Amino acid sequence: AQKITQTQPGMFVQEKEAVTLDCTYDTSDQSYGLFWYKQPSSGEMIFLIYQGSYDEQNATEGRYSLNFQKARKSANLVISASQLGDSAMYFCAMRTGGSQGNLIFGKGTKLSVKP
């Protein structure tokens, strides 16, 4: 079964510090894509970062990096130098061929950045 697990319902981080949001996944497919999306209180879904299952290097996009550990089936999001605007829900998600392109989401982590 395809599944994404995010074990942190909520997290706090001090402004300018780094924070890691945890994500583990389960799939028997060899080819898959891992994603992180941000959902601010306004509701839209904002794509942050992508990691392919065959990518050997961890993905980075500005202040976002994905710590991909394939053997452990984990895909943690690291946000460096947190900003107040980073306060939002963060969703880890996965797409596989076996899921017919369905983006399977975790339950999300609510991140609050403290000034």
> Under the rule (CB under 8 A), what is the footprint of other proteins?
31-33, 35, 37, 43-45, 47, 50, 52, 91, 95-97, 100-103, 105-108
Instruction: Tell me whether residue 25 or residue 37 sits nearer to other proteins (CB atom).
Output: 37
Q: In 10 A of CB 109, how many CB atoms? A: 21
Residue 13 or 49 with smaller CB distance to other proteins: 49
Least separation, in Å, of the C-beta of 16 and other proteins? 29
Quote the least distance from Cβ 14 to other proteins, whole Å.
Answer: 28
Least distance to other proteins from the beta carbon of 8, Å? 15
Least separation in angstroms between residue 45's CB and other proteins is 4
Closer residue to other proteins (CB): 47 or 114: 47
Q: Which is nearer to other proteins, 16 or 62 (CB)?
A: 62
- Are 2 and 94 spatial neighbours (Cβ–Cβ below 8 Å)? yes
Specify the 3-state DSSP secondary structure of 19. strand
Q: Which of 51, 48, 74, 52 is nearest to 61 (CA)?
A: 48
Amino acid at 83: Q
Cα–Cα dist 24/7, whole Å: 9
CA distance 83 to 89: 14
